[in-house]
Amino acid sequence: MRDLVKGKRIVVTGSSSGIGWETARRLTEQGAEVLGIDMTKNFDHVEEFYRADLSDPRAIDALIDVLPDRIDGLVNNAGLPPTKTADLLLRVNLVGLKRLTYGLIPKLAEGASIVNVASLAGMGWPDSVDAIKAAEHLDFYNLDAFIAQWNVTSDGGRSYFFSKEALIAWTMQNRWTWRDRGIRMNCVSPGPVDTPILDDFLQTLGARAEEDRRIMDRPGRAEDIAPVIMFLLSDMTSWIRGTNIPTDGGMASNILCNKHSL
Residues 210 and 140: their CA atoms lie apart, in Å, by 34
- Asked whether the predicted pLDDT for residue 141 surpasses 70, the reply is yes
6 in Cβ contact with 30 (< 8 Å)? yes
35 in Cβ contact with 50 (< 8 Å)? yes
Helix intervals (H) in the chain: 18-29, 57-66, 86-90, 97-104, 129-134, 143-150, 158-173, 198-205, 207-215, 222-233, 251-259
pLDDT band at residue 192 under the 50/70/90 scheme? confident
pTM of the model as a whole: 0.94
Q: Write down the pLDDT at residue 204.
A: 66
* pLDDT tens figures, 84-102: 999 999 999 999 999 999 9
CATH class of the domain defined by 9-259: alpha beta
* pLDDT tens figures, 142-173: 999 999 999 999 999 999 999 999 999 999 99
Average of per-residue pLDDT across 16-29: 97
Bridge-partner residues for 245, per DSSP? 188
- Asked whether the predicted pLDDT for residue 206 surpasses 70, the reply is no
Question: Parallel, antiparallel, or unpaired: how do β-strands 48-51 and 9-13 relate?
Answer: unpaired
Q: Specify the 3-state DSSP secondary structure of 5.
A: coil
pLDDT band at residue 2 under the 50/70/90 scheme? low
196 in Cβ contact with 222 (< 8 Å)? no
- Asked whether the predicted pLDDT for residue 1 surpasses 60, the reply is no
**Measured at the alpha carbon of residue 77, what is the angle toward residues 137 and 135, in degrees to the nearest 5?**
15
